[in-house]
A and B are shown apart, each in its own frame.
Chain A
């Protein structure tokens, strides 16, 4: 039954790739869609307010500046909302807000939402007021998600164009991503969530009189407004502390399944948009194929680990899977699927506690993030990561046969190769340096309040991997709400968002300016199984070489000890 759920999920994602990919292509080429009658007037008036001219395109450098400026201003606005939430009316009584919104926590949360990381150092129902959730967080889910999609689209344009100095207009891509993609889908998706039981109210926390005569305070709020867009925008920060595990956030197996589809479908579909625009559809399908293979391997390994209880429980004669930290309605299947999808999809909306996974079960999400979330990935940024690693593969392949490496007729000259090298080194550099800093000083170690030994090391590496990848899933045993972690994780988020996007767009700008080289006998074809294997090998090699020592000291050592 678990495998049926996995297979149906993959089949739906793959089946939707073409129609959704075509729709995205139409939206961002400003071709007619069925939503135009309602949205075009809104779009036009928005451009007037922004004082922009939609036909006027930008160079990669200006595009990057706009993206960073937008993200920084968004961070400042949501920081203000979060830090000043005490003055917002309504919402839970102060006695429930036991985790205060401190200055560093507000900075961390604002950065994390503006970068789609949505790392939860805050406590949800024990930190935030309703209006702070809606104005500060729901809005940022849309804005940051749309900005990510815009960047991904501009990146594809760079590879698709020839002799062009520009890669699109950031403001146009942003507006169209919001109006044509995120808002309509979220409205439908959120209604479906309410139907399944996700609350949508501004009521104070309910005081229930339980059957055994106790009082139970039940957190309420406009939960449904956040819970769909958090997945669709590949953000992931939940309304409640327990995020997707909370029965109000994720009440049924169906809401879980819909949420996971919302994470995966748009990023997966960009592979088709990519093939469509570059006029090499098979190359797009090859990338999707590589994604599906890595996805399936991760799923199988994680499932194998979690389907049985830890072996040290055998003497107690208990039956069933590793259910510590998992919800019964999802079971092992729905939990493992969510962990694999969210860790691949730059979305922090875990529905089970990864800290309580077995070592092999932890390796899978950790590796997914360390490889740069190439499987589906973040909205827009996922395809970008995948193509960047494919380019590294092309570079290595080209070096081996001694020809100028090229992909889709675009040559990788020394300056392009430098950008690629920086991109490939950024994640190991940031994650490993920050992890070592945290583990080797008295600043980082006090956060290890729950677990010790190799498992604790995994928690720290996991935290920085998650933030660098702008993912936000967490091994929550690490108490990351301290000045040290709030600052260093925010640094990792910024490096992951601005650093990687800037490198990728700079490369896209260079490719856009090139003309397409003719295909010759010496060209490495990018639409074959061999090419897929090359990309797969590159991904594994880059990941394994950089992170094997960290994995050995963390989950692998824990595995050997148990």
Chain B
């Protein structure tokens, strides 16, 4: 397009008081603006959906190689999970994460929460499987059942409060953390199963406890997977599952 031709247009002054294009018929305006609209959508999409991500890759990937590939943790060359993504633990020798609503539990390809309202009886009292609908498992552990389980597993008497994070599901279903109070109540069980003194386990927990970020952001928390990895290194379980026996969690 020829610039000098456009600049001779009489309507272009900044304080265009003649009403200019406002008085043009709608269809003329539409036709005039169609090319700018089409070109801007295409070019800006290219810039924002092409050049921007490429520039970001070029900048951030070399700077932060581990984070950009998902903060994965490996053991003996095998990827065991991600530092940031929670995974399920049920054995007595491990610290247990929060309950999860992602898929069948800690399904990191299907994040989500329960979305149950506080007034919904299912949230507190759970639900049992409906035998009429074969193939679909409606059973759901409510906060009541989870609390009872937690008290039984960890020997917590009724007069001691259970930290609420231990019995509620997170928004993502992939919460990698538990609260320090939750971890503290699990120390006795884990040390018994590992044959370690509670002092040793307590110091491991302390090492994997993060405080508030910058001193005031968020909540103090214990990273479950790194802690359990270090427990395995410190005092391996005798019947540790081998990678060959790895199995997919049932239906999802």
Interface set of A (CB-CB < 8 Å, partner B): 1, 4-5, 8, 46, 48-53, 55-62, 65-66, 69-70, 73-74, 77, 92, 96, 98, 123-126, 134-136, 138-143, 146, 163-166, 171, 174-175, 178, 182-183, 186-187, 190-191, 194-201, 203, 205-220, 222, 224-225, 229, 240-242, 245-248, 251-254, 256-257, 309-310, 312-313, 316-331, 333-334, 350-353, 355-359, 450-455, 475-477, 558, 561-562
**B109 to A219, Cβ gap below 8 A?**
yes
Whether A212 contacts B94 by the Cβ 8 Å rule is yes
Knowing A206-B72, A356-B118, A450-B115 touch, does A197 contact B84 (C-beta < 8 A)? yes
Residue of B nearest to A450 (CB): B115
Ranked nearest first, the 5 interchain pairs of A and B with the lowest CB-CB distance are A253-B218, A213-B241, A139-B49, A245-B171, A59-B22
- Contact status A49-B89, CB under 8 Å: no
CA A357 to CA B12, docked complex, whole Å: 55
- Closest A residue to B157 by beta carbon equals A317
| A60 to B20 alpha-carbon distance, docked (Å) | 11
**In whole Å, how far is B86's beta carbon from the nearest beta carbon of chain A?**
7
Most buried by A among B11, B113, B246, B248: B113
Nearest-CB residue, chain A, relative to B21? A62
Q: Which residues of B contact A216 (CB under 8 A)?
A: 81, 85, 87, 106-108
- When the two chains form the complex, which single residue of B21, B89, B177 contacts A211, counting CB atoms closer than 8 Å? B89
In chain B, residues 139-195, which have Cβ atoms closer than 8 Å to a Cβ of chain A?
143-144, 147, 158-165, 167-179, 181
On whether the beta carbons of B78 and A135 are closer than 8 Å, the reply is no
By the criterion CB–CB under 8 Å, are A247 and B107 in contact?
Answer: no
- From residue A111, how far is it (CB to closest CB) to chain B in Å? 15
* Cβ-closest chain B residue relative to A201: B69
How far is it, in angstroms, between the C-alpha of A174 and the C-alpha of B41 when the chains are bound? 11
User: Taking the complex as formed, is B71 at the interface, i.e. its CB lies under 8 A from any CB of chain A?
Assistant: yes
C-alpha spacing A216/B87, complex, angstroms:
8
Q: How far is the CA of A225 from the CA of B48 in the complex (A)?
A: 10
Given contacts A73-B37, A325-B171, contact A225 B53 (CB under 8 A): yes
Q: Is the CB of A124 within 8 A of B111?
A: yes
The complex places the Cα of A123 from the Cα of B109 at a distance, in Å, of: 10
Are B40 and A165 touching (Cβ within 8 A)?
no
Taking a contact as CB atoms under 8 Å apart, the answer to whether B147 and A322 are in contact is: no
Report if B116 contacts A (CB, 8 A).
yes
Contact pick for B19, options A59, A73, A353, CB 8 Å: A59
- Residues of B contacting A320 in the complex (Cβ-Cβ under 8 angstroms): 163-165, 179
CB pair B111 A134 closer than 8 Å:
no
**Which of B9, B37, B88, B120 has the most chain A CB atoms closer than 10 A to its own CB?**
B37
Q: How far is the CB of B223 from chain A (nearest CB, A)?
A: 10
Pick 16 A–B contacts, CB within 8 A, sort by A.
Answer: A5-B217, A46-B40, A69-B30, A77-B45, A142-B44, A166-B20, A199-B69, A245-B170, A253-B219, A316-B143, A318-B167, A321-B164, A331-B218, A331-B219, A475-B115, A562-B118
Closest to B26 in A: A65
Alpha-carbon distance A46/B216, docked complex (angstroms): 45
CA distance A239 to B165 in the complex (A): 25
Q: Which residues of B contact A92 (CB under 8 A)?
A: 109
Residue pair A49, B39 in contact (C-beta under 8 Å): yes
Cα of A562 to Cα of B178 in the assembled complex, Å: 29
B207 partner residues in chain A, CB cutoff 8 A: none
Query: Are A252 and B213 neighbours in the complex by a CB distance under 8 Å?
Result: yes
Q: A57-B14, A70-B37 are in contact. List 7 more A-B contacts (CB 8 A).
A: A4-B216, A61-B29, A62-B21, A92-B109, A210-B80, A218-B82, A251-B71
Question: B residues 106-127 with Cβ under 8 Å of A?
Answer: 106-120, 123-124
How many residue pairs link A and B with beta carbons under 8 A? The number is 447
Look across to chain A and name the residue whose beta carbon is closest to the beta carbon of B24.
A62
**Is B43 positioned at the interface, with any CB of A under 8 Å from its CB?**
yes
Closest to A192 in B: B60
Q: State the CA gap A379–B55 with chains docked (Å).
A: 24
Tell me if B48 and A183 are in contact (CB < 8 A).
yes
Residues of B within 8 A of A73 (CB): 37-38, 41
Are A253 and B213 touching (Cβ within 8 A)?
yes
Contact B171 A141 (CB under 8 A): no
Determine whether the beta carbon of A323 is less than 8 Å from that of B245. no
CB–CB B63/A194 < 8 A: yes
CA distance A167 to B53 in the complex (A): 33
* Residue of B71, B108, B167 contacting most chain A CB atoms (<10 Å): B108
> In the complex, which residue of chain A has the Cβ closest to the Cβ of B51?
A183
Question: Are A190 and B171 touching (Cβ within 8 A)?
Answer: no
How far, in angstroms, from A77 to B43 measured CA to CA in the complex? Answer: 12
Minimum Cβ distance to chain A for residue B122 (Å): 9
Please provide the chain B residues from 1 to 41 with a CB less than 8 Å away from any CB of chain A in the complex: 1, 3, 6-7, 9, 11-22, 26, 29-30, 33-41
Q: Are A329 and B221 in contact (CB under 8 A)?
A: yes
- With both chains docked as a complex, state the minimum distance between the C-beta of A416 and any C-beta of chain B, in angstroms: 17
CB distance from B107 to the nearest CB of A (A): 7
CB A110 to nearest CB in B, in angstroms, measures 12
Give Cα distance in the complex from A25 to B115, angstroms: 43
- Name the A residues within 8 Å of B212 (CB-CB): 1, 253
Q: Say if the beta carbon of B136 comes within 8 Å of chain A.
A: no
Q: Give the residue name and chain of the B residue nearest to A455 (CB).
A: B117
Q: How far, in Å, is A219 (CB) from chain B's closest CB?
A: 5
- Of the residues B47, B217, B248, B249, contact of A334 by C-beta under 8 Å: B217
Q: Which residues of A contact B26 (CB under 8 A)?
A: 65
Residues in A whose Cβ lies below 8 Å from that of B106 = 216
B45 touching A143 by the CB < 8 A rule?
yes
Contacts of B16 in A (CB 8 A): 56-57, 165-166
| Nearest B residue to A252, CB-CB | B213
Within the complex, the shortest CB–CB distance from B157 to chain A, in Å, comes to 10
B159 touches A317 (CB 8 A): yes
Q: Is the CB of B115 within 8 A of A318?
A: no
Q: Which residue of A lies closest to B243 (CB)?
A: A209
A323→B14 CA distance, assembly (Å): 56
- Shortest A144–chain B CB gap in Å is 10
Of the residues A8, A214, A352, A453, contact of B119 by C-beta under 8 Å: A453
